[in-house]
Structure 1
Amino acid sequence: MAKAKGKAKQMKGKMKEAAGKATGDRTQEAEGRGEQVSGQAQEAAQKAADRVKKQTGR
């Protein structure tokens, strides 16, 4: 579930960044990039947690 939320956050960030580029709003562009990075981190953390669970059987 957290991986899906991470992907959703990345998509939201991409849309926000594109809107910022289209309107010339550099702040919105930067916020969009930040959301993308946050989503990637969330997804990576969940993948790591899943690997740990798989290795430990918990």
Structure 2
Amino acid sequence: MGADDKLEAKGDQLKGKLKEGVGDATDDQGLQAEGAAEQGKGHLKEAAEKVKDAFKKD
């Protein structure tokens, strides 16, 4: 897994978590949903990179 890809995935997760938190604090459902979606995107990227790594080891 490339370091850049790892950082990007973690960055997406962190940004999503922050957006979701701000959405919770301000009762902004749109921002909550956007944050949750961004977190999901980060988790998917991370999972895809782990699959790539698994195939590189063999």
1:19 matched to 2:47? The reply is no
Aligned to 1:31: 34
Runs of 4+ in 1 over 6 A off after TM superposition: none
Q: Which runs of 5+ in 1 are unaligned?
A: none
Please, what TM-score do these two structures have when normalized by structure 2? Answer: 0.89
Unaligned runs of 5+ in 2: none
3-state SS of paired residue (2:14): helix
In angstroms, what is the RMSD of aligned CA positions?
0.7
What is the percentage of aligned positions where both structures have the same residue? Answer: 45
| Counterpart Cα distance in 2 of 1:2 and 1:50 | 12
The DSSP-based 3-state class of the residue aligned with 1:41 is helix
Q: Determine whether 1:45 maps to 2:54.
A: no
Which one has the largest radius of gyration? 1
TM score, norm. by length of structure 1: 0.89
Q: Provide the residue aligned with 1:9 in structure 2.
A: 12
State the partner residue of 2:57: 54
